[in-house]
Chain A
Amino acid sequence: MKFNEIYEIAKTKGITELQITTHEEMQIQFKILKNALDEKKISKTTQYNVKGIVDGKIGNCSTESLDSSIIDQVLNAIVNNAKCVDFEVDEEFCSDKNLISNVNDSPVIDFTDLIEKYKSMYDKLTNFDSRISSFEMCLGSWWVRLKIENSLGLLKEHSRHLFSGYFEVNATEGEKVTSEDDIICSKKLEDYENLIMKTAEKAIKALHPSKFESGKYNVIMDGSVVRKILPYIFAHFDAEEVQNNKSIYNDKVDTKIANEVLSIIEDPTNEDMLGCRIFDNDGVNTYKKDIIKDGILKTYLYDMKSAKKAGRESTGNKLSDYKMTNVYIVPGDNNFNKLLESVNNGIYIHDVQGTHSGIKSETGEISLSACGFIISNGKLGEYVNEIIMSTDFNELLNNIVEVGNDLRNRSYTFSSPSLVVKDINIVG
C-alpha cells in the first residue's frame, strides 16, 4: 500500500502523524573453506519501520510488508504501544521538507573469478608453510537503500554499498592449533592476498608462544583492538544514557576525560569513509562533529527525543547499532616503528576476545583475553597469548600517551590508529 493510503487508515485510529522508513537490502556472499566453495548466500529483503504519533507520543512497529492484510495489525500495534509509553514532553517527527535523494542502484557483482582466486589461496598457504591446516574466507557485497518519509513532508533517501567479510587461518603442530583472523570492510574489492599471508605468519608464530610475567606494562594497542573497545565507551556519550543517569560521563561535557593527545571525530557525511549516512533514522541531517577534542568531551549524542528533553537540537544520532557512524580517532604523527621505539619494552596487543563478556559496560571495567608480541628494546619479539588485559574506561582514556599515524578505515562505525597506553595490567 502507498504512504497516503496508509496515512488515511492511520488517522481513523487516532494517529495524527505517520512516518515510514523503508530499508531495502541486497546481499551476496560466499564462503571458502580450504580450497572449496563451502557456502554461497543471496538475498533481497525489505523492512519497514512504521511510527505514528498518538496524543503526543510515538508508537513504533516494524514489519516486512505493508499489504492490506497486515496494515491493520501494524497500526493497532502503534496505537497500543504509543499509549504505553511515558514521556514528559510531546514527541514529534522531523519536518525538514528539503528533499534528499542520493541513491545508486545495487551493483551487479560476479564473484566467480574471485571465488576461483581464493580457492587457490589454501595451496599457496600450505606451500608457504606446511603447518597451515585451514583457511576460511567469507566475502560479500552488501547494498542497502534507506528511504524515510512522513506526513509532515519529509522525504529523504540514500543508498550505500560495501564489501565485507573476514578470513581465518589455522596452523597446527602436533596437538597445538592456533588461529588468527582479520576482517574485510571496504568500498572497492581489493587484493587481500598480502593481508592473508601476514595473518598466516601470525598463526605460525602463535604455535610457539612465549611465557609472559604478570605486571603493569606500557602497551601498543592495535587499531583493531581499540575499535572493539570504543563502542562500549561511546555508549556512555549517548544522551539517553546520560538523561537516565546511566552514564559514567554525566555532567562531563567541556571537561577533560582523556589524555590531551586524544581527539575523536564523528564524520557521517564523509563519502570516502565506510559508514556514510547523510541523515539519521529520525530524518535529521547528520554533520561532522568533535566528540573528544584534545582530551575534552565536547558533546553528547542526541536524537530528536533526547534533544527535545534537553531543550536543544538533535545532533543527528538516531542511528542503528551504536548510534554513531564514521567515528575515528584523529591520527598522530608517528609511524608504528616510532611507537615501538617510544615503548621500548612492553607488549603489542594485536587482538582481544570476548568484549561482550569481558567489558562491564555499566561501570567501565575491562578484563579481556588478549594476544600479541613482546616489545623488547624497541623491536617486536616473541608471540604471547593466554594473557588477560585489565583496565577500565577512565584509566584507558587517560593513559593514552601517543597516537600513531596508521589509521585504517576498516569499519563503518569505529576506526583507530595504534595507540600507546601506559601502565596496563597484564596477567599471564
Chain B
Amino acid sequence: MLKQDIEKVIKYGLENGAEFVDLFFEKTMHYNMYLVSSKIERCSTNFIDGVGIRVYQNESSFYSWTNDLSLENLISIVDQLLIVKNVVEVEFELNELVEGNILTDKLVKLSDIGNDKIKEKLFDMNTEARRLDERIDQVELSIRYIEQDVVIASSKGNYVAEKRIITNAYASLYITDGEKRENGCARSGIRGGFEIFDDERFIGMLDRAYEEATTLLDAIFISGGKMPAVIANGFGSVIFHEACGHGLEASSVARNLSVFSGKLDEKIASEKVTLIDDGTIPGLYGSAYFDDDGEKTRRNILIENGVLKGYLVDTIGGKLMNKNNTGSSRRQNYFYLTTSRMTNTYLEVGDDKIEDMIESIEYGIYAIDFNGGSVNPSTGDFNFGVSYARLIENGKLTKAIKGASLIGNGRDILMAVEMVSDDLEFEIGHCGSSSGSIPTTCGQPTIKVSEILVGGRE
C-alpha cells in the first residue's frame, strides 16, 4: 500500500476522534517439511497477506484484521472501530520509511536452498538417528521456515519495515526395549534461515533426543512432594518465563492484574537473580529489529540483584502506565492485536558450582529437560513439565525420574533461588498468550531453588 494511502487511513481515524491509530501489514510465507517412517510425509507452504488495524480511544483498543487491502475497505474499518466520533482538524504525515534488519550475512533463504537439499538433510539425519541404536524404531524430523515482511505505521509517525526470518527444527526418537517404549525429543531454532544446519544446537539435536529417550527407559516415578531442586541450564529458565516473565508484561501490570504491579524498586527475588530481556541479540530466536508497534527493540533489565527494575511495555501499556515503550510489543501475525511480550529472556550468570548445588541436597531432584509451562499472572501460580530428571540422594545424582511436573507461585520461587552457576545456555520456545504464539528464547545457567512442589506417583 502506498505511503500516502496509509496516511489517509491514519488521518481519517485521528480526524474522527481516535487518540492513536496503527496499521500492521504483513506478507508471510510458512514452509514445513516433515519426515516420519523414513519418508517425507508432508511438505506444505502457506502464504498470508493482510493488515491489522488498531484504533485506540477512551483507554480501549478496537481492532480489526482483513486481507482486503483496498483504501476504501481500510477507511471503512476505521469507521466501524471508532466508538465515539469527534470531528477535529488534523494534519498528519508519516516519517520517512526506516528499514531494519537483524539477520546476519550468513543467511540462507529457502529460495537459496530448495526442497531437494532440505529433503536430503532430513534423510541424512534419519539415517544417522537410526544408526545410534538398533532399538530406535521410529524417527520424526521436522523443519519449519517462516519468512515475514512487515510494514508498521502509526499515528506517532513511525513508518518502519523489516524482513524477519526464523527457522526451527524438531527431532523425536522412539526407542523400544522389550516391554518398555520411550520417547526423547529435542529442538533448535534461530533467527535466520537454513544456516541452521551449521548451528551447534541443530547438530546436537539427535544426541540430545537419544540421551532423553535412553535415560527414560530406566526412569522411575517418585512419590513427589516439596523438595529442593537443581534446575538445569537452558530450557530450565522456563521457570523464570512463567514465574515472573508474563507477570512483568504491561498487559497485566498496567491493569493491576499482576502480582508484580506497583512493585518497581522493591525486592521481589533473591539477590542471586538478575533477569534480562533482550530482543536485539542477532541470531536468537526471539530477536527482531523493530517490535510490532514499530519501536526499536532493546535490552531491558527486568530484575537486578533481586530488585524489580523494569517492566515489558508496549505502546498502549505505556499509555496506561505513563511509561515509554520498551520495544516489547509482539504478535503472532496480523490476526492478533499486539501486546507486551517477552523476546529473549535470560538469567545472568553467577559464580556458584553445580557440584556444590548437588552436594548440598539430601533428597531432591535435578531437573534436566522440560516441556514448557503456564502461569496465571494475576495470582502468580505457575506450572512446568519436566521431561526427565535425576533424583538427588545424599548429595549425589542417582536414579532417573519421569512423570513429574513442578508447580509453585512466582513470588515464592523467585525468593527461593539459592545458587546460580555460570553455564548460561539458551533454548527456543513458542510462547502462547493473547497476541498469539510467538518465537522466544529463554536462558539460564544451572540454578538451585530451596523448595518446589514436585508431582509424583506411588
Interface residues of A (CB under 8 A from B): 33, 36-46, 59-65, 70, 73-74, 77, 80-81, 83-87, 134, 136, 170, 177-179, 214-216, 243-246, 248, 353-354, 356-360, 362-363, 365-369, 385-386, 388-392, 425, 427-428
Contacts and interface: CB of A to CB of B under 8 A. Distances in A.
B407 A386 contact: yes
Given A38-B61, A63-B49, A390-B456, 12 more contacts: A40-B61, A41-B62, A42-B80, A44-B66, A62-B44, A64-B47, A65-B67, A360-B387, A362-B183, A363-B216, A366-B403, A367-B404
Contacts of B68: 44
Nearest to B119: A84
28 contacts: A40-B62, A41-B63, A43-B65, A77-B45, A80-B43, A80-B115, A85-B40, A170-B378, A177-B379, A214-B225, A244-B138, A354-B374, A354-B384, A354-B385, A356-B371, A357-B372, A357-B385, A362-B183, A367-B404, A367-B405, A385-B381, A386-B408, A388-B224, A388-B453, A390-B455, A391-B457, A392-B403, A427-B454
B353 interface: no
B47 A40 contact: no
A61 B46 contact: yes
A59 B337 CA distance: 32
B172 A362 contact: yes
Contacts of A359: 385
A62 B45 contact: yes
B374 to A, nearest CB: 5
10 nearest A-B pairs in the assembled complex, by CB-CB distance: A388-B455, A357-B385, A427-B224, A362-B183, A86-B39, A369-B383, A354-B383, A77-B45, A357-B372, A367-B405
A250 to B, nearest CB: 10
B16 to A, nearest CB: 16
Given A85-B41, A388-B453, A245 B138 contact: yes
B122 to A, nearest CB: 10
Given A62-B46, A214-B224, A390-B403, A425 B457 contact: yes
A157 to B, nearest CB: 20
Contacts of B36: 244, 246
Interface residues of B, number: 79
Contacts of B337: 39, 41
Nearest to A305: B41
Chain B: interface secondary structure?
strand
Contacts of A134: 256-257, 378
B444 to A, nearest CB: 17
A357 B137 CA distance: 24
A61 B453 CA distance: 46
A170 B385 contact: no
A137 to B, nearest CB: 14
Contact of B115 (A43, A83, A136): A83
A33 B256 CA distance: 11
B370 interface: yes
Given A83-B115, A367-B403, A362 B174 contact: yes
Contacts of B182: 363
B181 interface: yes
B71 to A, nearest CB: 17
A81 B405 contact: no
User: Residue among A86, A177, A367, A369 with the most chain B CB within 10 A?
Assistant: A367
Contacts of A216: 458
B405 A179 contact: no
A369 B379 contact: no
A425 B44 CA distance: 42
Nearest to A59: B43
B85 interface: no
B50 interface: yes
Contacts of A61: 44-47
A17 B7 CA distance: 45
A121 to B, nearest CB: 16
Contacts of B61: 38-40
A353 B37 CA distance: 33
Nearest to B402: A365
A386 B381 contact: yes
B259 interface: yes
A391 B372 CA distance: 19
Contact of B380 (A39, A177, A388): A177
B42 to A, nearest CB: 7
Interface string B251-265: 000011101000000
B398 to A, nearest CB: 20
Given A74-B47, A84-B115, A369-B407, A41 B371 contact: no
Contact of A84 (B33, B137, B259, B380): B33
Contacts of A358: 371, 383, 385, 405, 455
Contacts of A40: 60-63, 81, 83
A427 B456 contact: yes
